[in-house]
């Protein structure tokens, strides 16, 4: 699927005020990233897609560092990061094209890598931003993610499997930790599911505006196919070191 960066940026910008209260799974992913890092001290850290600072808070509380770079495509993200880490260096823009004044020891990112259309190329580039022995830690999602939405709408990102990510990583990195797990959220009705997706910015797959009829069809289909009204998340946690 061809993604529109401007659409993604606008959707996430609109979701920021309600993101944290809806990002149940993203918080769990951030905790797992930090818990499984090979060390707790890094000279220079780069966080990609810092958003509202869910992972940033864990970095500030659990890691020691001398320099912290923060990146996000949304300018407003700086407001959240500034409240957590005062002496941050914020770089606004596309994470795939980020430029740094020097190499870093840890590149870390939560729930963002699924938006990359070419994971091989991106990871190869990030390897050039790391010092020798540096760590890349990121979370993304497997093809099982939002299986209910794909079943009903046909819309889905080009998610990679754990095996595919393993093959991509092992070309240039030593894999330290790789985990995939499913997590289901339950809702009272399909409208709550649509609101949840809107409030976490993941309704960025299409710019098409839904009318009342579209919403009714979606709700009826959801109740028929998934009567328990659950929504499946399928996170992947990946941590590796540069050879």
Tell me how many domains the chain contains. 1
Greater confidence (8 vs 42) lies with 42
> Which are the contacts of 11, defined by CB distance < 8 A and separation ≥ 6?
201, 202, 203, 204
Farthest CA pair distance, the chain: 55
Instruction: Give the model's pLDDT for residue 206.
Output: 60
What pLDDT, in 10s, does the model give residues 102-161? Answer: 999 999 999 999 999 899 999 999 999 999 999 999 999 999 999 999 999 998 899 999
- pLDDT band at residue 12, thresholds of 50, 70 and 90? confident
Average per-residue pLDDT in the chain? Answer: 93
User: Poorest-confidence range of 14-18, 75-79, 168-172?
Assistant: 14-18
Cα separation of 232 and 176, whole Å?
A: 26
Instruction: Give the model's pLDDT for residue 180.
Output: 98
What pLDDT, in 10s, does the model give residues 179-214? Answer: 999 999 999 999 999 999 888 887 655 656 889 999
What pLDDT, in 10s, does the model give residues 45-101? Answer: 999 999 999 999 999 999 999 999 999 999 999 999 999 999 999 999 999 999 999
Instruction: Give the model's pLDDT for residue 205.
Output: 58
pLDDT of 1 > 60? The answer is no
Tokens of residue 140, six digits = 């993304």
Instruction: Give the model's pLDDT for residue 15.
Output: 79
Asked whether the beta carbons of 188 and 229 are under 8 A apart, the reply is yes
What is the domain extent for residue 80? 5-242
Greater confidence (81 vs 12) lies with 81
Instruction: Give the model's pLDDT for residue 17.
Output: 83
Query: What CATH number has the domain bearing residue 39?
Result: 3.40.50.150
């Amino acid at each position: 699927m061809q993604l529109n960066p401007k659409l993604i940026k606008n959707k996430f910008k609109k979701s920021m005020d309600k993101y944290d209260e809806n990002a149940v799974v993203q918080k769990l992913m951030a905790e797992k990233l930090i818990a499984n890092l090979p060390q707790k001290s890094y000279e220079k850290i780069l966080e990609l897609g810092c958003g509202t600072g869910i992972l940033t808070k864990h970095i500030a509380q659990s890691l020691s560092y001398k320099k912290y770079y923060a990146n996000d495509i949304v300018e407003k993200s700086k407001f959240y990061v500034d409240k957590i880490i005062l002496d941050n260096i914020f770089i606004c823009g596309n994470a795939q094209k980020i430029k740094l004044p020097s190499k870093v020891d840890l590149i870390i990112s939560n729930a963002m890598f699924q938006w990359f259309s070419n994971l091989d190329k991106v990871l190869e580039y990030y390897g050039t931003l790391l010092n020798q022995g540096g760590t890349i830690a990121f979370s993304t999602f497997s093809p099982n993610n939002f299986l209910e939405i794909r079943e009903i709408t046909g819309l889905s990102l080009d998610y990679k499997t754990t095996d595919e990510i393993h093959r991509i990583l092992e070309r240039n990195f030593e894999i330290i930790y790789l985990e995939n797990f499913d997590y289901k959220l339950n809702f009272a009705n399909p409208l709550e599911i649509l609101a949840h997706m809107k409030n976490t910015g993941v309704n960025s797959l299409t710019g098409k505006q839904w009318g009342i009829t579209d919403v009714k069809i979606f709700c009826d289909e959801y109740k028929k196919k998934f009567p328990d009204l659950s929504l499946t998340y399928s996170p992947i946690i990946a941590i590796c070191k540069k050879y």
